[in-house]
Structure 1
Amino acid sequence: MRGMKGNSLALMLLLALFVVGKWEVKVTAVTPSECKEERRLGTNACRPVVFGREPSPECCQRVRVTHIECVCPFVSPKLAALINADLNRIVRKIKDCGRTLPSHFKCGSITIP
């Protein structure tokens, strides 16, 4: 069970980092239920990336439309610790998806190198 939870947390961080790549998106008020749905859709669309696959067009699309304020609050120190070893790989995946990440941007407990 711990492995499944770790994978879900890693996936949430991956989604958060993808979203950071589109951080210039205009921030609008989003309801908690809308945020929950955005996280669910993004998690489902990007799940294969956690297992080493390339981001699908659906995953990249979800990343482009997900509000950063829905994801970054969930990047806890525990989640950051699980994914820090793969941060460079995740950054490469984000770039493969056509997004850039601002250096030193902080999203939850992760700071982009």
Structure 2
Amino acid sequence: MDGSNMKMMKNLKMKLVVLCVVVGVMGIIMAGVAEGEDCERDLRGLQIECLVFMHKGNAPIQDPNDRCCNEIKLANVPCVCSKLSRHLVIPPNETIEDLLDWPKVLHCFNFCGKPLAPGFKCGNFTVPPGPPPK
């Protein structure tokens, strides 16, 4: 190979390396977008199907229904937990976490077969050691 062919080959290799890096970075970015969208879907699903079983109030702890359990089983819990400090429009100045009764949350997750491990941090709440609430 003469000098110009060697130079062309080096140039082509460099372009291929750059292309691979760009494709890899785009894949990482797109995976993050898809994960974020999944997390939002999980959060909405839990709010719609489970909040009635997990909200603060005078209602006693209840077993969640199948729709709520399905949402719990599918949810990316660490991602959802990272979103609990989001402020709501109604009620104003409150967060999602402000609406939750943690013994009820723990009961729902346990009942649905996806218990939260002692020490697990979800929003500002840390799952205590010991047996789940009854």
TM interval, short-chain normalised: 0.5 to 0.7
Task: Give the deviation of 1:87 after TM superposition.
Answer: 2.1
Q: Tell me which of 104, 120, 126 is aligned to 1:89.
A: 104
**CA-CA distance at 1:36 after TM superposition:** 1.5
> Do 1:106 and 1:112's aligned partners in 2 also have CA atoms closer than 8 Å?
yes
Q: Which residue of the partner structure matches residue 14 of structure 1?
A: none
Cα distance in 2, alignment partners of residues 82 and 38 from structure 1: 17
Question: Larger relative CO (CA 8 A, sep 6+): 1 or 2?
Answer: 1
CA distance in 2, matches of 1:42, 1:79: 11
- Structure 2 residue aligned with 1:45: 49
Alignment of 1:1-113 (within 5 A): 30-50=34-54, 52=59, 53-76=62-85, 79-80=96-97, 83=100, 86-113=101-128
Preserved CA contact (<8 Å) 1:76 1:108: yes
RMSD (Å) for aligned C-alpha atoms = 2.8
Query: Which structure has the larger Rg?
Result: 2
Aligned equivalents of 1:88, 1:102: Cα separation in 2: 14
1:20 aligned partner: none
Verify the 8 A CA contact 1:75 1:110 in the aligned structure 2.
no
What is the count of residue pairs matched by the alignment? 84
Structure 1: stretches of 5+ with no match in the other structure: 1-27
Instruction: Tell me the amino acid that sits aligned with residue 83 of structure 2.
Output: F
Instruction: Give the structure with the higher percent helix.
Output: 1
> SS of the residue aligned with 2:82?
helix
Paired letter, 2:49? A
Shift of residue 82 of structure 1?
Answer: 5.1
48 and 37 in structure 1: CA distance in 2 versus 1, 3 angstrom threshold: same
**1:103 positional shift:** 0.9
Cα separation, 1, equivalents of 2:78 and 2:126 = 16
**How many percent identity over aligned positions?**
25
Structure 2: gaps of 5 or more residues? 1-30, 87-94, 129-134
